[in-house]
Amino acid sequence: MLNAINYATRHFCTDVFGYEIKEGKSLGKDLYGASIPLYKDDIEFQFYLYFKKETLELFVDKLFNTEEAKKTDLGDLSREVANQIVGYAKNLLSDNNDGIYRLGTPEFLGKVERFPVRLEKSHIFKIKNKTFKIGYKKV
């Protein structure tokens, strides 16, 4: 499952936005978070995405024109990025026909100093020296 998320993340950052994506080492503090459930058959996996403000601003620059960017809510943006990445991964997993996958509704988790959730698997990514983390745990 993490392979599908990694692929979807690379697709979103590189293919859609043109950013070179690298492996990150640390996330830092002061993060904006979003979560989104992915269901495989009757099993729920809760995905968590945590972004530095500067990372979200990279996505704002690509998604909106200058005027819209000034009004962009980082909570809404966090949810949309979660929906785009995990939704694409769901499609990849569904195409493999190894179960029936459904996507839940993304939720904004607010701004936190540190990543508060213990994850089963996760990955830290870096674009333009800005980091974000994606991981999941089985619920």
pLDDT in tens, 24-63: 998 888 899 999 999 998 899 999 999 998 898 888 877 7
Which parts of 11-103 fold into alpha helices (H)?
53-63, 66-70, 74-95
> Looking at residues 95-107, what average pLDDT do you find?
88
Decide: 135 and 123 in contact? Cβ < 8 Å.
yes
The answer, yes or no, to whether residue 95 has pLDDT greater than 80, is yes
pLDDT in tens, 6-23: 999 999 999 999 999 999
Total domains in the fold of the chain:
1
CA distance 92 to 95: 5
For residue 10, give its domain range. 2-138
Q: Which residues are CB-neighbours of 43 under 8 A, at least 6 positions away?
A: 138
Q: How far lies 74's CA from each of 23, 34, 95, 111, 137, in Å? A: 23, 10, 31, 10, 24
Which CATH number does the domain housing residue 120 bear? Answer: 3.40.1550.10
- Rounded (5°) CA angle 94-86-55: 155
